[in-house]
Amino acid sequence: MDNIRIGIIMNGVTGRMGKNQHLERSLMSLIQEGGLTTKEGKKIIPEIILVGRNSQKLAELSAQHSGLPWSTDLDNVLSDPKYTLYFDAQTTGLRYTSVKKAILAGKHIYCEKPSASNLTQALEIYKLAEEKKVKHGVVQDKLWLPGILKLSQLIQQNFFGRIHEVRGEFGYWVFTGECEPAQRPSWNYKKSEGGGIIQDMVCHWRYLIDNLFGTITDVNCMAMTHIPQRWDEMRKPYICDVEDATYTTFLTEKGILCHFNSSWCTRVRRDDLLTVQVDGIRGSAVAGLRECYIQPAESTPKPVWNPDIPQPINFYEGWMKIPDRKTYENAFKEQWKLFLLHIVENTPFPWNLLEGAKGVQLAELAYQSWHERRWLKVPPL
Ligand SMILES: NC(=O)c1ccc[n+]([C@@H]2O[C@H](COP(=O)([O-])OP(=O)(O)OC[C@H]3O[C@@H](n4cnc5c(N)ncnc54)[C@H](O)[C@@H]3O)[C@@H](O)[C@H]2O)c1
């Protein structure tokens, strides 16, 4: 049976996300498996071209992946009809211009979040993609994390009864780069390059909460720059002119209060780098990236406040771990598979540029709420 070859332009793949998650763990992994199987039993085979600025890095990456073609000339690659899909994992500030160019060249679009640096641009590329009738998608990887899938199943099974509160704790210590190299790129801490943890994380909380707990209707945000100086990739000191932690509260249409802390300045003493605790009348759950623990009402311990004696309850013992009932794939790869099937078979793919724009909208409102120190309504888009 014939294979279906899809030419994919991958821009920004020498970076962390582009290389690790999208190229290696998603598309190369699919290629190594012999392609993605369609309903009719055909195989979808990605045909990748790497695009970027740095020839040396591109040549090295190509050599690591059996000589994938590469180019530093995006315009030229966009004019090649062999490539029908444009993928973008560049730094956020560069996304809008390149994605717009790709839409105008008639390419389908798949891109990292945030889909643009501001709502006007995010909506513009959504509308343009619709007008040009190209298919489009935005990465919403957290939805396919095993821990979140388990949480989502608990909600569907009505494990919680009425959910009243959700608490998200995201973050870890990002080294300053002074004595130990930082594990995040320095542009994350520079306004002019699209940095800031609100812009980076609030768009994740948008789709996570909208999908699991109901559409967000209100937002209240506080943020700070806790560490004002860092050292870049060349070990040169620079000033951080964006927030590196944000403490944000959301309300949903279902009346569920969701509070998410996001910080690059905190040391972890919890189950995982992201934990989401959900409290309901009939039970609670705590999801991490892979695991999810539950405590039903029936086995909830009854603590009594008494700091004069050692704590008699080991609170961790009162939780049950949900077993893996299947093998989970990489979350980015799962979403890629759905997008490729959407292109080939026209299967539904709701995680599009409009949903991406909703994330950008929420980040923008979070900044406004922080600066004006007040709750804001989140208008429907
Ligand atoms: N989905 C997620 O969980 C997740 C996590 C982290 C980052 N991201 C997003 O992925 C994107 C990339 O983040 P990253 O952490 O991989 O960053 P990175 O700095 O590691 O990579 C950025 C890429 O953009 C390219 N680039 C940078 N400046 C450029 C310029 N001036 N011209 C052309 N190319 C340029 C770099 O060469 C590199 O390939 C960001 O938009 C970020 O928001 C998503």
Domain ranges of the chain: 3-141+331-347, 143-329+361-376
Per-residue pLDDT of 341-373, as tens digits, reads: 999 999 999 999 999 999 999 999 999 999 999
The Cα 278–Cα 276 span in angstroms is 6
Minimum-distance ligand 1 atom for the alpha carbon of 17? 16
The yes-or-no verdict on residue 290 having pLDDT over 80 is yes
Q: Work out the number of other CB atoms within 10 angstroms of the CB of residue 47.
A: 16
The yes-or-no verdict on residue 337 having pLDDT over 90 is yes
* CA 33 to chain CA mean position, Å: 25
- The class level of CATH for 3-141+331-347 reads alpha beta
Residues near ligand 1 with C-beta < 6 Å? Answer: 12, 14-18, 52-53, 89-92, 94, 112-113, 139, 141, 185, 187, 200
If you measure from the C-alpha of residue 235 to the centroid of ligand 1, how many angstroms do you get, rounded to a whole number?
19
Element (H, E) at 218: strand 216-224
If you measure from the C-alpha of residue 193 to the centroid of ligand 1, how many angstroms do you get, rounded to a whole number?
10
Give the global pTM. 0.96
pLDDT classification of 218: cutoffs 50, 70, 90: very high
Length of the chain measured in residues: 381
pLDDT of 2 reads: 79
Per-residue pLDDT of 150-208, as tens digits, reads: 999 999 999 999 999 999 999 999 999 999 999 999 999 999 999 999 999 999 999 99
Q: What is the mean pLDDT of the chain?
A: 97
**Structure letter (DSSP) for residue 264:** S
Residue pair 253/200 in contact by the 8 Å Cβ criterion: no
Tell whether domain 143-329+361-376 is in CATH 3.30.360.10: yes
pLDDT classification of 229: cutoffs 50, 70, 90: very high
Beta bridge partners of 108: 85
Half-sphere exposure of 50 (CA within 13 A, CB side): 29
If you measure from the C-alpha of residue 112 to the centroid of ligand 1, how many angstroms do you get, rounded to a whole number?
9
If you measure from the C-alpha of residue 10 to the centroid of ligand 1, how many angstroms do you get, rounded to a whole number?
12
If you measure from the C-alpha of residue 117 to the centroid of ligand 1, how many angstroms do you get, rounded to a whole number?
13
Q: Work out the number of other CB atoms within 10 angstroms of the CB of residue 13.
A: 29
If you measure from the C-alpha of residue 13 to the centroid of ligand 1, how many angstroms do you get, rounded to a whole number?
8
Torsion of CA 5, 99, 101, 185, to 10 degrees: -110
Mean pLDDT of 302-306: 96
Between the alpha carbon of residue 257 and those of residues 120, 213, 270, 282, 289, the distances in Å are: 28, 9, 21, 17, 21
Q: Which residues of 97-122 are buried (b: 16+ CB within 10 A; e: fewer)?
A: ebbbebbebebbbbbbbbbbbbbebb
pLDDT of 137 reads: 98
The yes-or-no verdict on residue 1 having pLDDT over 70 is no
Mutating to test ligand 1, I would choose from 90, 242, 351 the residue with most ligand atoms within 8 A of its C-beta, which is 90
pLDDT of 251 reads: 98
Who contacts 305 (Cβ-Cβ below 8 Å, separation ≥6)? none
Per-residue pLDDT of 9-53, as tens digits, reads: 999 999 999 999 999 999 999 999 999 999 999 999 999 999 999
Minimum-distance ligand 1 atom for the alpha carbon of 200? 43
